[in-house]
């Protein structure tokens, strides 16, 4: 399934990053995490990062034209045989249209669109206890998935931190932005082949197995 192309959608805290990492590894494809790319550019104080920073810290989306340019730039060097899981892109209908136009021009298509649904209560609970490693991107949860040594990343030994946009007021804003700007994508993709809706409130391993089973049964990936 090495050429499979998927996107994963869902509210903040749905488990997109957590699932995308595992599912991409199991399918033998790359995981492209748009939020992590944006954070890397902000931390590196690049031109894009400087423009994106204030939007991200306020819980808003980075303007479509900036994100589309950056993400399509990253995808354009890949061959059609290279599969990937896009996590956090597209996030608006304009971004989805930009991606589909780009893929069509290359004779490619999206094979699966995975929608992870969770309640607002779950989102707030998970994000307030999430921690991450800025050095390698590993994600933890101090309530349910803490690192072995408090404050230290299991994978690279870096210091783990709370994301500035996981503060309660910013989380509420992100959920509002999600509802207004990203939820319409569910309707945009619902009728397309390969749309899979999964209950993200379930245990993480159950979610992974459900997605992999549906992807294998769907037969859209080689």
Sheet of strand 5-9, all strands in order from the earlier edge strand to the far edge: 30-33, 84-87, 5-9, 112-117, 195-199
Cβ–Cβ < 8 Å for 212, 26: yes
Residue 88 makes contact with ligand AP5 by CB under 6 A:
yes
For ligand AP5 (CB under 6 A), the number of binding residues is 34
Interface with ligand AP5 (CB under 6 A), residue from 18, 27, 98, 189: 18
Residues 152-181 binding ligand AP5 (CB under 6 A) are 165, 174
Q: Which residue is nearest to ligand AP5 (CB)?
A: 35
What are the distances in angstroms from CA 215 to CA 23, 45, 209, 221?
10, 38, 10, 8
Residue 34 makes contact with ligand AP5 by CB under 6 A:
yes
Two tokens, residue 163: 């994301």
Two tokens, residue 38: 């944006």
Across 91-128, b (16+ Cβ under 10 Å) vs e yields: bbbebbebbbeebeeeeeebbbbbbbebeeebbbbbbb
Pattern 104-143, binding to ligand AP5, x per CB under 6 A? ----------------------xx--x--------x-x--
Nearer to ligand AP5 (CB atom), residue 2 or residue 57: 57
Q: In the beta sheet, which residues pair with residue 117?
A: 199
Nearer to ligand AP5 (CB atom), residue 129 or residue 220: 129
Interface with ligand AP5 (CB under 6 A), residue from 5, 9, 10, 22: 10
Interface with ligand AP5 (CB under 6 A), residue from 95, 96, 133, 153: 95
CB of 158 to ligand AP5, least distance (A): 16
Helix, strand, coil: what percent of the chain each, to 5?
50, 15, 35
Residue 49 makes contact with ligand AP5 by CB under 6 A:
no
Residue 146 makes contact with ligand AP5 by CB under 6 A:
no
Interface with ligand AP5 (CB under 6 A), residue from 4, 6, 9, 12: 12
Nearer to ligand AP5 (CB atom), residue 29 or residue 86: 86
Give dist(CA 138, CA 150) in Å, integer. Answer: 14
Give dist(CA 150, CA 163) in Å, integer. Answer: 16
Query: Residue 13: which region, alpha, beta or left (left: phi > 0; alpha: psi -120 to 50)?
Result: left
Q: In the beta sheet, which residues pair with residue 113?
A: 7, 195
Residues 61-80 binding ligand AP5 (CB under 6 A) are 61-62, 67
Tell me which residues touch ligand AP5 (CB under 6 A).
10, 12-18, 34-35, 38, 55-56, 59-62, 67, 88-89, 91, 95, 126-127, 130, 139, 141, 144-145, 165, 174, 203-204, 207
């Amino acid at each position: 399934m090495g050429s499979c192309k998927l996107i994963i959608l869902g509210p903040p805290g749905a488990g997109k990053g957590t699932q995308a990492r595992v599912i991409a590894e199991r399918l033998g494809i790359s995981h492209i995490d748009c939020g992590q790319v944006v954070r890397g550019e902000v931390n590196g104080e690049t031109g894009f990062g400087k423009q994106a920073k204030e939007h991200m810290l306020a819980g808003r989306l980075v303007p479509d034209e900036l994100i589309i340019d950056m993400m399509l730039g990253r995808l354009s060097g890949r061959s059609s045989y290279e599969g990937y899981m896009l996590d956090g892109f597209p996030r608006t209908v304009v971004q989805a249209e930009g991606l589909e136009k780009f893929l069509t021009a290359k004779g490619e298509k999206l094979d699966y669109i995975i929608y992870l649904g969770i309640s607002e209560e779950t989102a707030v609970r998970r994000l307030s206890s999430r921690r991450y490693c800025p050095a390698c991107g590993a994600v933890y949860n101090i309530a349910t998935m803490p690192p072995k040594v408090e404050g230290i990343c299991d994978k690279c030994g870096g210091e783990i931190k709370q994301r500035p946009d996981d503060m309660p007021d910013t989380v509420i804003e992100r959920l509002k932005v999600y509802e207004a700007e990203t939820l319409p994508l569910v309707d945009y993709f619902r009728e397309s082949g390969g749309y899979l809706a999964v209950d993200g409130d379930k245990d993480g391993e159950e979610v992974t197995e459900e997605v992999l089973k549906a992807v294998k049964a769907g037969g859209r990936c080689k």
